[in-house]
Amino acid sequence: MIGRDSSQTAASMANISGREVTKSYTKPTTPDDDEGLVTVATIPNVVVEGESHPQQHSEWIVSEQVTKQKVFKAPGYPKPIPKPFDGDLPVYEIKATPDMGLGLFATRSFSAGDLIFAERPLLVLPLGMINLYDEVPAEASNRSGDLTYSHPATAGPFNLGDAEVLIELAVSKMNPDVSRAFHSLDNCHSPNDYSQMIGIALTNALRITNLYDGPTYRAYLNSYAGISEIGSRINHSCKPNVYFTFDLASFSFSFKALRDIASGEQLFRSYCSIHAGRAQRRKELADWNIICRCASCANTTTDSDGLRLGCDKIIFNAIGIVTNSCRMNRAAMRSSFEYLAQLRQELYDEGLYTSKLYPSLLRIMRALCMKMESVDKAKEIEEEMKKYDKINDDLGAE
Ligand SMILES: [Zn+2]
């Protein structure tokens, strides 16, 4: 039985129409779209009968009023957050790490694609308020906004002062538990640069690619980011074992296994572009003061950087070479299989199984196994292929 907590209805919104908020990018206008009005909407918690821990509410800083309808009209809204198959049993623990502060560790094993946990964000805000990227696209730099500060955090449609006021307003609407969780999050920025709340937002925001103002996703120019209590604590690795998606109907993040994970392993997501060489990754990670010591960073070679930068093309070419040798004898099939298996291992070692072409590589490896009548091996590869088809769908569907 699902009900709504009447004290936290979506109608309880705080309008700050009196404030000047710089909104200079081209946006669609509709009769409902109140220019310059930014609101803080409360997405109510969902009470599920029999559950001891009610799912928390979320505060959402909304820059375009019509965008709220994308959530309120999502089929099934307000859905309870998805549950992993263990239900209420804890599937992770938070522990100290030797070199990364606290980290999240699996307390059971997971298969690639499994839901590890899902949670409501504490706060959702326009990504433009906390532009996470150093490079400002021409589209953004051409706008005629009133930019008071020069840091990239102000390069979006909001200036830093607006962002501070809005985040403070949203946090002031949180109930004590949610507010405490927000204030307990890490801030890797100096108080000389940002207020504590902006620092927390900059440090912990996760990009939401399927919630944006207007008809088309345009990265941080019109999309949103969420700050979550547990997911934001997952440390970085260039070889992540976790990915996340956002579901509008339950207004929640789902954190899922990107590869098979053993019980006791630390969970990692990537804060930087996976398909970038080490120098670029280091540059991106500097925003979090992270000097990554993952195996990929420690053992970078020209080849490993090349594989990251060109992995789709490398997989495409490898598949092409094998496919074109269509009249292969058994020995040639075996050596083709070994060639692809070696590439698969190299991709796996670099954590590049998120390439859209990874399932295609597995598909052709399975076909070679079938031709060579290695039925068991074909089945094993097929299992992995299905997992990565599902993960690709998941990531593509966002
Ligand atoms: Zn690394």
Confidence class for position 132, pLDDT limits 50, 70, 90: very low
Question: Please, what's the b/e burial string for 208-230 (b: 16 or more CB within 10 A of its CB; e: otherwise)?
Answer: beebbbbeeebbbbbbbbbbbbb
Query: Given this model, what pLDDT does residue 54 score?
Result: 57
Judged by DSSP in three states, 58 sits in: strand
Question: In the structure encoding, which two tokens stand for residue 47, read together?
Answer: 């009470």
The alpha carbon of 291 and the centre of ligand 1 are apart by a number of angstroms equal to 8
The pLDDT of residue 2 is above 90? no
Average pLDDT, the chain: 81
The alpha carbon of 46 and the centre of ligand 1 are apart by a number of angstroms equal to 38
The alpha carbon of 249 and the centre of ligand 1 are apart by a number of angstroms equal to 34
Confidence class for position 36, pLDDT limits 50, 70, 90: low
The alpha carbon of 270 and the centre of ligand 1 are apart by a number of angstroms equal to 9
CATH 2.170.270.10 for the 2-288 domain, yes or no: yes
Element holding 384 (H helix, E strand): helix 375-397
Q: How many CB atoms lie within 10 A of CB 179?
A: 16
The alpha carbon of 305 and the centre of ligand 1 are apart by a number of angstroms equal to 12
The alpha carbon of 138 and the centre of ligand 1 are apart by a number of angstroms equal to 29
The alpha carbon of 238 and the centre of ligand 1 are apart by a number of angstroms equal to 4
The pLDDT of residue 150 is above 60? no
The alpha carbon of 240 and the centre of ligand 1 are apart by a number of angstroms equal to 9
Q: What is the pLDDT of residues 275-307, one digit of tens each?
A: 899 999 998 888 888 899 999 999 888 988 999
The pLDDT of residue 239 is above 60? yes
The alpha carbon of 285 and the centre of ligand 1 are apart by a number of angstroms equal to 9
The alpha carbon of 148 and the centre of ligand 1 are apart by a number of angstroms equal to 34
Q: What is the pLDDT of residues 245-257, one digit of tens each?
A: 999 999 999 999 9
Give the mean pLDDT of 309-325: 86
Give the mean pLDDT of 172-199: 91
Confidence class for position 32, pLDDT limits 50, 70, 90: very low
Confidence class for position 121, pLDDT limits 50, 70, 90: very high
Confidence class for position 55, pLDDT limits 50, 70, 90: low
The alpha carbon of 290 and the centre of ligand 1 are apart by a number of angstroms equal to 9
The alpha carbon of 241 and the centre of ligand 1 are apart by a number of angstroms equal to 13
CA neighbor of 83 nearest in space, from 53, 43, 125 = 53
The pLDDT of residue 3 is above 50? no
The alpha carbon of 71 and the centre of ligand 1 are apart by a number of angstroms equal to 35
The alpha carbon of 283 and the centre of ligand 1 are apart by a number of angstroms equal to 11
Query: Given this model, what pLDDT does residue 391 score?
Result: 93
Selection from 53-57, 92-96, 189-193 with the highest mean pLDDT: 92-96
Task: Mean pLDDT check: name the lowest of 37-46, 116-125, 265-274, 353-362.
Answer: 37-46
Query: Given this model, what pLDDT does residue 134 score?
Result: 43
Confidence class for position 332, pLDDT limits 50, 70, 90: confident
137 compared with 173, residue with greater pLDDT: 173
Query: Given this model, what pLDDT does residue 18 score?
Result: 29
Question: Please, what's the b/e burial string for 94-104 (b: 16 or more CB within 10 A of its CB; e: otherwise)?
Answer: eeeeeeeeebb
Half-sphere exposure of 37 (CA within 13 A, CB side): 15
Query: Given this model, what pLDDT does residue 53 score?
Result: 56
Query: Given this model, what pLDDT does residue 328 score?
Result: 78
The pLDDT of residue 144 is above 50? no
The alpha carbon of 289 and the centre of ligand 1 are apart by a number of angstroms equal to 13
The alpha carbon of 80 and the centre of ligand 1 are apart by a number of angstroms equal to 35
The alpha carbon of 85 and the centre of ligand 1 are apart by a number of angstroms equal to 31
The alpha carbon of 269 and the centre of ligand 1 are apart by a number of angstroms equal to 11
Query: Given this model, what pLDDT does residue 326 score?
Result: 62
- Long-range CB contact pairs, 273-278, < 8 A, 24+: 274/238, 274/240, 274/308, 274/351, 274/352, 274/354, 275/308, 275/309, 275/311, 275/352, 276/308, 276/309, 277/305, 277/308, 277/309, 278/305
User: What residue segments make up the domains of the chain, in order of their start?
Assistant: 2-288, 301-397
Task: Mean pLDDT check: name the lowest of 113-122, 137-146, 160-169, 358-367.
Answer: 137-146
The alpha carbon of 256 and the centre of ligand 1 are apart by a number of angstroms equal to 20
Query: Given this model, what pLDDT does residue 165 score?
Result: 86
The alpha carbon of 336 and the centre of ligand 1 are apart by a number of angstroms equal to 31
Confidence class for position 38, pLDDT limits 50, 70, 90: confident
The pLDDT of residue 20 is above 60? no
The alpha carbon of 239 and the centre of ligand 1 are apart by a number of angstroms equal to 7
Judged by DSSP in three states, 243 sits in: strand
The alpha carbon of 380 and the centre of ligand 1 are apart by a number of angstroms equal to 29
The pLDDT of residue 207 is above 70? yes
